[in-house]
Amino acid sequence: MMQYWNHPYRIDGSGHTARADEDDHIRQMIFQVLFTAAGERVNRPDFGCGLNRMVFMPNGSALATATQFLVHGALTRWLDSVIKVEAVDVTNQDGTIVVRVVYSKLGAGQTIAVQFSSQGAS
């Protein structure tokens, strides 16, 4: 079984680099795409979709639809060699944007749903 470095990078209890399995690694990559703002990465200024900035925009169905397209497009662009995005659902609950991503790992055929918010992942 392949192991990946945990994101964010940290040292585990044994003093070694913390590791993640493949499923956690994919969730962490999705998190990075969602919460990295354009211009934040020096060598990839167009990486990410900057989900956090959406919290301050006027809430409504137009924003939810635009955010769905933004998230779907960013995930497809940056992670298309790892996952196939099946669906993206965006809701705004009390000023917190909640994004539910349904995807399948390429080569595995397994469909997985994960939920993210401006508060973190669940």
24: pLDDT strictly greater than 70: yes
Q: Please give the tally of structural domains in the chain.
A: 1
CA distances from 73 to 83, 95, 99 (A): 13, 23, 14
Which pLDDT score, from 0 to 100, does residue 88 have?
Answer: 96
Place of tokens 């997985």: 112
Contact 89/65 with Cβ under 8 angstroms? no
Give, rounded to a whole angstrom, the gap between the first and last alpha carbons of the chain. 24
Q: Which of 98, 99, 104 is nearest to 71 (CA)?
A: 99
Q: Which of 51, 56, 46 is nearest to 72 (CA)?
A: 51
Taking only the tens place, the pLDDT of each residue in 40-99 is 988 999 999 988 777 677 777 778 888 899 999 999 999 999 999 999 998 877 767 889
pLDDT-derived band at 107 (thresholds 50, 70, 90) equals confident
* Full residue range of the structural domain in which residue 61 is found: 4-121
Identify the CATH number of the domain in which residue 9 sits: 3.10.450.40
Instruction: State the DSSP code for 58.
Output: P
